[in-house]
Structures are given as structure tokens and as C-alpha cells.
Structure 1
Amino acid sequence: MVAADVRLAAPRGRAGTRLEVRDVSHHFELEGKTLPVLDGVTLQAEPGELVALLGPSGCGKSTLLRLVAGLDRPRSGALLVDGTPIEGPDPSRVVVFQDPTLYPWRTVYGNVALGLEARGLLRSQRARIDDALELVGLSGFDRAYPHQLSGGMAQRAALARALVNEPSLLILDEPLGKLDSLTRISMQTELVRLWRDAGFTALLVTHDVEEALFMANRVIVFSDRPARIKAEIVVDSAYPRHRDDPYLVDLRRRLLELLGCAP
């Protein structure tokens, strides 16, 4: 399979934040028993970097994203952005989930406007909604309702809703996991374009090895639960990338071996 070209200029400056995860462990209490999920995880994402997290299903990757988003607090360890501890949610850190979770009674415009409305900024910064819709290729669909959108278009609307807040850290929890293969390839290209144009830092959870290699600067491989870091792979390949690049094919083989999926 040959990747679509991602013909991009150099990023327009780095608006991203530096993320540090320091020796983070976490567990849940389930029916009186302790369920360990993360075990001493330490990693960094530099400003403007896209880091992909790979690992077995249920190993704790999404839990780590919730901690980075400030939706939960770790049992031990620390998470920091630009040296400041994460103590709760913040508009500068936005999560895009696998399901677009659009409100069906709101238009695309109304869904994208939610963040600005909640912060009392809609009247003064309304133009940012049109800018976000244009960025994701949804200009002209502002009056459409979610049931009128394809899966890919709905996920574009969810991305616009995130981007309208101008995040410095975009947290992507398998955002393309439910799309058909052709739409997924197209959206991978669009996400790379958006990331490189805007310069935010991105943390991507995916089960797709090719997706991680196509998009990320680095790939971090986790063990089974409780998640520990098994390996960190630097993807030293310029954009645009092509999936049949021998260098990426070799990295794919190495990652599959690390994940225990090699033939």
C-alpha cells in the first residue's frame, strides 16, 4: 500500500508545550481488589513533537492519556507541562476520542463553538470557528447536523472542535480507529498536515503500527498491563512519508517483533 503524499511546508513556528511524565504508576480499585495499570512510566514529548504510543489492548495507554489530560490524578509520580504540574483539565490540553461525540441537536458550527461558549469567548472570537472549519476541510458544512455527515467528516468536526481552542497539546485517543481504511489513510494525512501547520505537541494512542510510523517522530512501545515502556523508536524520516519506504518497512518489522506479532 502506497501512502498519499503529505506535501507540507516547514512548520510555522512551535506553539507546542513540553510534556514530562515522571515515574508514573497508577491502579484502580475494582471490587475490593487492586488492578495495576501503569508501572513506573517515564517519557517526554518535546514542543511540537508527535509521539505515538503502541501496546496491547487494555495495557493502560488510554489511562495515561486521561492522566495527561488532567481527568484523573496518578497514584504516584508526576506529570508536568512546561515544568508546571498537571492538576486538572485545561483548555490548552484537548482530547480527541475515537468517537466524535458530537451533540446531535447542534449543527457542526454549534458543536465546534462549544469550547469558546464554555469560556465566554464566543462573541469576541467567533472568527476562530470559521478558521477551524477551514483547517479541517469543512467549510460550507457549518449548518449541517451530525447525522448528515460521514464518519470521516464527523471526526473532522471533532478535530475542529479541539483546534478552535488553539491547544498547545493535542491528545489523540485512537481518533481514527472506527473509520474505513481509505478514510483513515486520508485522515492520517490531514492530521499530519494540521500538526505541522499549527506546531502543537501531540500524543497519539494507536493500535496501527503503520499509522504510528507514518505520523510520529517517535514511537513508544508498552508492555502488557501494568504498562511499562519496552522500547522507544525514533522515526528518522522526513515528511512526506510513504508506507513502502524500505526504512519504514524495516521499522514496522521491528515494532511487530516488540509487540509479539512478527510472523
Structure 2
Amino acid sequence: MVSAVALKQPPQAAGAALDVVDVSHHFDIDGNELPVLDHVTLSAKPGEFVALLGPSGCGKSTLLRLVAGLEPPRAGRLLEDGRVITGPHPSRVVVFQDPTLFPWRTVWKNVALGLEAQGILKSERHRVDAALALVGLSGFANAYPHQLSGGMAQRVSLARALVNDPDILVLDEPLGKLDSLTRLSMQTEIVSLWQRQGFTTLLVTHDVEEALFLAQHVVVFSERPAKLKADIAVEAPYPRHRGDPYLADLRRQILGLLGLDATW
């Protein structure tokens, strides 16, 4: 578990600038085009934490795939530090909702996968130990995934991303399947990791409170095909408190944008 002191330090801008420029995208399904993103433009400064909110299925996760370079956009451009993103790269790492750990590999060997794939594990073994220490799992290096709780497994997934020393960390609802108490604890850990490492972070979540607790900017999308409805700056200092009236007011604003203000 991270210390409260770490949370009070300002983030160091060691990450990359990210620019999404007039991006549109569609899927081809049975010969028909299904539009998913509609002329989306947004940006993140180096070391900035940006959260994406919007209705389920609106295209948020698709945008993350484009940022990760897993597929090219149908129109528009995505740039990392001014360079067009043309495919996957270790500088951009994705953490998904499911940890997707290999059950036959130990925690240490799961975290080492990226370095192993790059052919540099032999000389960079210390990075695996450092990543496990960052997420508080040094004592579980020789454990197997079935011996871990859900929160611990997701921390292994984070360590597997951090071992690559990413400039941009892409988080696709990484806490969505955790119980509420573990989720709250993991939110604090993610903020601490971001502040200590300084990577640019792009988070997809359906939880408005989570977005406001974690991010410096919250981008709100419309129904599919996703259009940008608002880009809201969250100017509360860290550590943040969930009962903060300022955050509660932003929460009401965002719920209004999502058409849910009448229920609160």
C-alpha cells in the first residue's frame, strides 16, 4: 500500500503528449458501416491524467484501442509527442478490465512478459523487481494467479504495464470488476503510481466519482457514434476527498451531461 505522503507530491511530467485530431471510426459489420467515433478531437499534456466518460458502448474503448495503436483510425490522426501513431509500441501500454494473467506463470514471470518479448529480460531483470515493489507485491513474486485476490491480480497487471516504463498508460475500466472496497483502495494506488512515475494516463470508466477522484480532466462523450460533449477541468488538489462540495458539484454537472441529473 502506498503512503499518504506520496499522494501529496505533484506529478512529474515525464510522460508523452497525446493528441487525437479529428478522429472518426467505424466497423464493417455484414457489409454495413457501424459508426463509432465522430470527429473526436482531444489532447493530453505530458504527465496529465485524463478520464473518458460516456454511455456504455459509445466508443470509449475503441478510442483507447486507437491510442494504443491496435488498429488505425478510419479518418483523422493520433499523435504521441507529435509523431503519428501507426501501431503498438512499448511506450503505450494498455491495462484492461480483466488482468489476463497466464495461470501457468508465476507473478514474476507474468510481469516479465514485456521484457521477455523485447529480448531484454536477461539484462533488465531488476525492472521486474522494481515494478512489483511499486505495486506492493514483492512478497508474491513466486505466487501463481489462482493464489491472488482480484485486487492483487489487477496490481500484477499494472506491474506488467509499468515494467515497460510507459510514456502513456491506457486504462480500460481496470477496476470495473473489483468489489467496492478494493476499488476505492486501488483508485488511491493508481493516483500514487501516476504521481510517482509521471506517465500520461488515459482512463475509461463508467464511474463519475472515480473519474473525478483520479483525473485532472474529464472528457464526456455522447451516445454512439461518440462526439465530444464536454472537457471538464478538475482543479481540486491531491489528495482528494470524496465528500468535497466542489467535486459533488462537478458530479452533478457531468450527470446532467449524461442525462442522469434527474435521478440525483
**TM-score by structure 2 length?**
0.97
**Greater mean alpha carbon deviation, residues 8-17 or residues 148-157:** 8-17
Give unpaired runs (5+ residues) of structure 2.
Answer: none
Letter in 1 for 2:27: F
- Residue 229 of structure 2: aligned partner: 230
Partner SS state of residue 178, structure 1: coil
2:94 is paired with a residue whose SS is: strand
Residue 46 (structure 1) aligns with: 45
2:232 is aligned with what amino acid?
Answer: I
Cα distance in 2 for partners of 1:226, 1:152 equals 33
8 Å Cα contact 1:5/1:241 also seen in 2: no
The separation in 2 between residues aligned to 1:156 and 1:5, in whole angstroms, is 18
The one-character-per-residue Cα deviations of 1:49-81 (angstroms, maximum 9, x if unpaired) are 000000000000000000000001000000000
CA–CA distance in 2 between the matches of 1:54 and 1:46? 19
Residue 25 of structure 1 is matched in structure 2 by: 24
Cα–Cα, structure 1 residues 154 and 181, in superposed 2: closer, same or farther, change >3 Å? same
Matches within 5 A, 1:27-106: 27-106=26-105
Contact 2:15 2:167 in 1 (8 A): yes
CA distance in 2, matches of 1:204, 1:53: 6
Question: What is aligned with 1:210?
Answer: 209
**1:13 positional shift:** 3.2
Distance in structure 1 (CA, Å) of the matches to 2:230 and 2:257: 8
Gaps of 5+ in 1: none
Deviation at 1:9, TM superposition (A): 4.1
Sequence identity of aligned pairs in percent? 71
Q: Deviations over 1:95-130 (max 9, x none)?
A: 000000000000000000000000011111100111
- Matched residue SS, 2:63: helix
**Matching residue's letter, 1:239:** Y
Verify the 8 A CA contact 2:11 2:47 in the aligned structure 1. no
Alpha-carbon separation, structure 2, partners of 1:247 and 1:13? 25
8 Å contact 1:54–1:207 — kept in the other structure? yes
1:178 aligns with 2:172: no
Q: CA RMSD in A?
A: 1.2
Contact 1:93 1:169 in 2 (8 A): yes
Q: Tell me how far 1:5 sits from its aligned partner.
A: 5.9
Matched, 1:155 2:129: no
Residue 108 of structure 2 contacts residue 142 of structure 2 at CA under 8 Å; is this kept in 1? Answer: yes
TM normalised by structure 1 equals: 0.97
- 8 Å contact 1:6–1:192 — kept in the other structure? no
One-letter amino acid matched to 1:45: A
Deviations 1:73-95 (A, max 9, x none): 00000000000000000000000
Task: Name the amino acid aligned to 2:260.
Answer: C
Counterpart Cα distance in 2 of 1:5 and 1:209:
23
Letter in 1 for 2:205: T
Structure 2 CA distance, aligned partners of 1:150 and 1:58? 28
What code does the residue aligned with 1:127 have?
Answer: H
CA distance in 2 between partners of 1:22 and 1:108 (Å)? 38
- Partner secondary structure for residue 231 of structure 2: strand
